[in-house]
Structure 1
Amino acid sequence: MTGRSTFFAAAAIAALVAGAGAASAQGFGGSFYLKGFGGATWPSGEENELQFLGGGTDIDVKLDYDTGYVLGVAVGYNYTPNIGVELEYGFRQADLKGQVSGDTRSNAVMVNAIYRLDGMGADGAFQPYFGAGIGGANIDLQTEDNGSFDNNGLFAWQLIGGVGYRISPDWTLMGEARWYSVNSGSLDGADGFSLDSGFESFDLLLGAAYSF
């Protein structure tokens, strides 16, 4: 990614490092963790009313999607057993269907704030959590009839809710749901064409985290 997405990534790294240092200096006694996740994504076709622009001709196009997939990794820091912040990279891909053929891909670098409830169950192994994130993303739309369109500097946000299950002092399994949204922007294409598009999706994910 370039431009504003690179800026978001650099700012996210700086915020994470500075925050972790501040927490340690104040004696919160937190811990770092690494997380990987993957699952299914259902992009919202209703929100993607597009216009192909160029040559003085506007063509209204609606995008519909098949179920796609999500892959991602994150590094985080727990300030307390309940509060954490993480830097995340996520990739989403879904095939287009209907009026337009091709696929849409989105890469995003996000900073997430996570709040974990107290452990539940007989041994407190279950820990529900929720959170939100902001960052920078790109949209890469590949069409069979009109070529490719992309923008590498779009604002993105997401809402997160899930539950973790601690299987050891270091390892936690997770299942979660997300709503992910990339703001609409002008995607540049070939031969002077462009289109206005955003990207929104509902995700169901499974993952694991290792604390150290």
Structure 2
Amino acid sequence: MMKNLKLKVIPVLCLLTSTLSVAQNSTNQEVRKNFYVKPYAGFIGVQNMDLILTSDNENSNVSVENGFGYTAGISLGYYLTENISTEIGWEYKSNEVTISNDNISSKGDYASNFIYLNGIYNFKTKSRLKPYLGLGASVIQEIDLDFGNGENGSFSNSGNIGFQGIAGLDFNLSPRWALNWEAKYVTFSEFGMENEGDNSRLDNLKYNPVIFNIGVKYRF
């Protein structure tokens, strides 16, 4: 009797173990290949610039000294394979500036909104640390340069396309949650900005921010 019971139990246990193993592998595969959302915030650095101000058909030089800046954004991504993922996101950037023109200085700030699309290669490791590299394209929804007390006007532009390089690191807390650190360099071709109050404009704008972010990643 006992022998017959053992003979019946052993195959059941083997089948159960095999089923659990397949389910676990399937779950891990789903985590790797499914969607993720990543909110983040960080700091931004922008190079100083020498611009050309055109007003009433006269040109003058304007110096822009960039100060402290910050950024915040969110992205939605999808793991195509264990190593390849893609993401689309939105990002807001702002930083303080000092504008100098004809020995007159005034404080102001940049503010910009971006939409971007990235392709990412995730390195496979045996630890919780998961480094990655990526390339992508950015589109400026709107960029504004405001300075003075309002009497000097506000300059803006939109629609410019740029490219970005990315280096990042995930630290897996669980199969679904991870801490994220990321460095990003974004480059745009030179462009101009129109004054929103008159016919003046700024040219020779080279907007190439360097960004350092920290955030969290949730896979679902």
Shorter-normalised TM range: 0.7 to 0.9
- Mapped to 1, the partners of 2:146 and 2:99 lie a distance apart of 14
Contact 2:186 2:208 in 1 (8 A): yes
Which residue of structure 2 aligns with residue 125 of structure 1? 128
Unaligned runs of 5+ in 2: 1-31, 101-105
Contact 2:138 2:164 in 1 (8 A): no
Within 5 A, what are the aligned runs for 1:27-106?
30-45=33-48, 48-97=49-98, 99=100, 100-106=106-112
Contact 2:51 2:61 in 1 (8 A): yes
- Mapped to 2, the partners of 1:195 and 1:33 lie a distance apart of 40
| One-letter amino acid of the structure 1 residue matched with residue 56 of structure 2 | G
SS of residue matched to 2:174: coil
- Mapped to 1, the partners of 2:75 and 2:166 lie a distance apart of 14
- Mapped to 1, the partners of 2:210 and 2:185 lie a distance apart of 5
Residues 1:140 and 2:144 aligned together: yes
- Mapped to 2, the partners of 1:116 and 1:86 lie a distance apart of 13
Residues 1:200 and 2:208 aligned together: yes
- The percent of aligned pairs where both chains have the same amino acid is 28
Contact 1:108 1:156 in 2 (8 A): no
- Mapped to 1, the partners of 2:90 and 2:189 lie a distance apart of 17
Within 5 A, what are the aligned runs for 1:177-192?
177-189=183-195, 190-192=197-199
Contact 2:133 2:166 in 1 (8 A): yes
- Mapped to 2, the partners of 1:108 and 1:156 lie a distance apart of 10
SS of residue matched to 2:206: strand
Spell out, residue by residue over 1:32-90, the C-alpha distance to the aligned partner (whole angstroms, 9 max, x if none): 11011111111111xx2211112021111121111200101000111012110100101
Moved more, 36-45 or 95-104: 95-104
TM-score with structure 2 length normalisation? 0.77
Bigger proportion of residues as helix: 2
Moved more, 98-107 or 165-174: 98-107
Partner residue of 1:172 out of 153, 169, 178: 178
Question: Which is greater in Rg?
Answer: 2
- Mapped to 1, the partners of 2:143 and 2:206 lie a distance apart of 8
TM-score with structure 1 length normalisation? 0.80
In the TM superposition, residue 152 of structure 1 has moved relative to its aligned partner by 1.2
Moved more, 185-194 or 65-74: 185-194
SS of residue matched to 2:160: strand
Aligned residues: 180
In the TM superposition, residue 132 of structure 1 has moved relative to its aligned partner by 1.2
| One-letter amino acid of the structure 2 residue matched with residue 63 of structure 1 | V
Contact 2:99 2:108 in 1 (8 A): no
RMSD (Å), alpha carbons: 1.7
Unaligned runs of 5+ in 1: 1-28
- Mapped to 2, the partners of 1:114 and 1:198 lie a distance apart of 26
Spell out, residue by residue over 1:104-133, the C-alpha distance to the aligned partner (whole angstroms, 9 max, x if none): 11111000111110124xxx2100111011
